[in-house]
C-alpha cells in the first residue's frame, strides 16, 4: 500500500503505476535503493528503480569504470550485479517493506534471455519492469538492441509475453531518430518509455596518451546531457500515446519542471544522487514550491504544456 506522504497535488498515475510524487530514481545510480537508507527516507520518493539486473551474476568491466567530467561523469561499469536469484532471495524481501512501487531494470543478451528474466521477476513486490535495451545484442554482432527498431520490438514482445507487470522501455539517445524507436516499442506493447539513457563518450589521459576508461568508451550522464534529453522527450511526447519518464542531468526542481513541460509524466534523478543523496526528496519539495508560486493545482496541469498546440 502506497502511503500519502506528500501533498496529493504531486500524485501521479501512469498506466496504473501509482506514485505519490512523480520523482523516481534512475537505474544504475541508486543501487538497490537500500544503500541510500542512511540518507533518505525511501518512502519519500515516487518509486525506487533498482540497478540493472541480469539472469546470472555479472562482475562488470575491468579497469577504471568512472571518471568525472566538467558537467557530469562517464561510466563503463558493465552492469555489475549479483544476479536475479540473489535479488529475489536477498534484496526483494527488504524492498517489499518499503511503501513505494519497485521498478526493476533488466538487461540481457538476447530477446529470449529478457523473456526468461521477465518471467522470473513476475512476482509479488515487483511493480514494474524497465527494459534496458542499450545492451550488446550478441546475435547481431554487438549492435545494441536500442539502436534498431526491429531488435527493440523483439525484446519488448519477449518481455510482454512473460510478465503481468507494467513494462517501461528505456531508450538510448545514441540513435539517429529516437522517435522511430519510441514508436516501435509502443506498437510492440510497451506501457511506457523512459528516456534518455547515457550518451556515448570518452576521455583520454593526455599524460599517458591513453583512454581513461578500461572499456575505452562509456556513458556520459549529468547536466551536460540535459538539453539533449529535454529535446528528445519533447520530440517523443509529440509522437507516442504512452507515458514518458524523463531523465538526464536533472539536478534541481527547475530541471525537472523542464521535463514535465516537454511532455514527461514523471522524472528520474540519476547522477545527481551521487552529489546529493536526498535530491529526489528535495526536488519534490521544489516542485510544490513552483506550483504554489504559479497557482498550479495539480502536476498534471503542466505536463506537456510547452508542446505545440497545448
**Phi, psi angles (nearest 5°) of residue 74:** -110, 140
Asked, for residue 261, whether it belongs to a domain, the answer is yes
251, part of any domain: yes
Positions marked active-site: 135
| Structure confidence by residue, pLDDT tens digits, 25-75 | 999 899 999 999 999 999 999 999 999 999 999 998 899 999 999 999 999
pLDDT at 228: 98
At 227, list the grid cell: 538539453
pLDDT at 233 over 70: yes
Supply the range of the domain harboring residue 146: 8-61+80-199+221-302
> Which tens digit of pLDDT belongs to each residue from 75-105?
999 899 999 999 999 999 999 999 999 999 9
Residue 4 has pLDDT above 50, yes or no: no
pLDDT at 46: 96
In a domain, 209, yes or no: no
On whether residue 240 sits in a domain, the answer given is yes
Question: Which CATH number characterizes residue 92's domain?
Answer: 3.20.20.70
Task: Lay out the sheet containing 199-202: strands in order across.
Answer: 66-69, 72-75, 217-221, 199-202
Number of domains in the chain: 1
> CB burial class (10 A; 0-12, 13-18, 19+) of residue 12?
buried
For residue 36, tell me if it sits in a domain.
yes
Which range, of 49-53, 140-144, 204-208, 209-213, averages the lowest pLDDT? 140-144
- The pLDDT assigned to 137 comes to 56
pLDDT for residue 19: 96
Beta-carbon neighbour count of residue 164 at 10 Å? 9
Q: 103 forms bridges with which residues in the sheet?
A: 49, 128
Report residue 297 CA to chain centroid gap: 27
Place of cell 502511503: 3
| Sequence-ordered list of residues with C-beta below 8 angstroms from that of 226, at least 6 positions apart, any chain | 248, 249, 250, 255, 258
Share the mean pLDDT of the chain.
Answer: 94
In a domain, 1, yes or no: no
**Which residue shows C-alpha cell 526528496?**
281
Say what the pLDDT of residue 134 is.
81
pLDDT at residue 3 greater than cutoff 80? no
pLDDT at 252 exceeding the cut of 80: yes
Mean of pLDDT values over 150-175: 97
Q: Nearest-CA neighbor of 39 among 289, 281, 299, 292?
A: 281
Cell 528474466 sits at which residue? 117
Give mean pLDDT, residues 229-255. 98
- What pLDDT is attached to residue 136? 60
Three-state secondary structure along 33-58?
Answer: CHHHCCCCCHHHCCEEEEEEECCCCE
Residue 71: name the closest of 255, 211, 210 by CA. Answer: 255
Residue 65: phi and psi, rounded to 5, are: -105, -15
pLDDT of the residue at 1: 43
Q: Per the omega criterion (within 30 degrees of 0), is the bond before 196 cis?
A: yes
Q: What is the dihedral sign for C-alpha 205, 206, 207, 208? A: positive
**Phi and psi angles of residue 14, each rounded to the nearest 5 degrees, phi first:** -110, 100
For residues 103 and 157, what is the distance between their CA atoms, to the nearest angstrom? 19
Provide the strand spans (E) within the chain. Answer: 12-14, 17-19, 23-25, 48-53, 66-69, 72-75, 102-106, 128-132, 136-137, 143-144, 166-170, 192-195, 199-202, 204-205, 210-211, 217-221, 244-247, 266-269
Query: 248, 281, 231, 280: which is closest to 72 by C-alpha?
Result: 248
247 part of a folded domain: yes
How much of the chain, in percent, has pLDDT values that exceed 90?
Answer: 91
**275 CB-side CA count, 13 A:** 15
In angstroms, how far apart are the furthest CA atoms of the chain?
56
Residue 120 inside a domain? The answer is yes
The whole-number pLDDT of residue 6 equals 59
Q: Is the pLDDT of residue 229 over 70?
A: yes
Distance CA 282, CA 171 (A): 26
Amino acid at each position: 500500500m502506497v502511503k500519502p506522504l506528500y501533498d496529493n497535488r504531486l500524485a501521479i498515475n501512469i498506466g496504473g503505476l501509482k506514485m505519490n510524487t512523480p520523482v523516481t530514481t534512475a537505474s544504475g545510480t541508486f543501487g538497490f535503493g537500500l544503500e541510500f537508507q542512511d540518507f533518505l527516507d525511501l518512502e519519500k520518493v515516487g518509486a525506487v528503480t533498482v540497478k540493472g539486473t541480469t539472469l546470472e551474476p555479472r562482475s562488470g568491466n575491468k579497469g577504471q569504470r568512472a571518471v568525472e567530467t566538467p558537467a557530469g561523469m562517464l561510466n563503463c561499469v558493465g552492469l555489475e550485479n549479483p544476479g536475479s536469484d540473489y535479488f529475489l532471495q536477498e534484496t526483494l524481501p527488504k524492498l517489499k517493506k518499503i511503501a513505494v512501487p519497485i521498478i526493476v531494470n533488466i538487461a540481457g543478451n538476447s530477446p529470449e534471455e529478457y523473456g526468461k528474466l521477465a518471467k522470473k521477476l513476475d512476482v509479488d513486490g515487483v511493480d514494474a519492469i524497465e527494459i534496458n535495451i542499450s545492451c550488446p545484442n550478441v546475435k547481431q554482432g554487438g549492435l545494441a538492441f536500442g539502436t534498431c527498431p526491429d531488435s527493440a520490438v523483439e525484446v519488448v514482445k519477449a518481455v510482454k509475453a512473460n510478465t503481468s507487470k507494467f513494462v517501461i522501455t528505456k531508450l538510448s539517445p545514441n540513435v539517429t531518430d529516437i522517435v522511430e524507436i519510441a514508436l516501435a516499442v509502443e506498437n510492440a506493447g510497451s506501457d511506457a518509455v523512459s528516456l534518455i539513457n547515457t550518451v556515448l563518450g570518452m576521455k583520454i589521459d593526455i599524460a599517458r596518451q591513453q583512454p581513461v576508461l578500461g572499456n575505452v568508451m562509456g556513458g556520459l550522464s549529468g547536466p551536460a546531457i540535459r538539453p539533449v534529453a529535454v529535446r528528445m522527450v519533447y520530440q517523443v511526447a509529440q509522437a507516442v500515446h504512452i507515458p514518458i519518464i524523463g531523465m538526464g542531468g536533472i539536478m534541481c526542481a527547475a530541471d525537472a519542471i523542464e521535463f514535465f513541460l516537454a511532455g514527461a509524466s514523471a522524472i528520474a534523478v540519476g547522477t545527481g544522487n551521487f552529489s546529493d543523496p536526498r535530491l529526489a526528496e528535495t526536488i519534490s519539495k521544489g516542485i510544490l514550491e513552483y506550483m504554489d508560486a504559479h497557482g498550479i493545482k495539480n502536476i498534471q496541469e503542466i505536463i506537456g504544456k510547452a508542446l505545440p498546440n497545448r
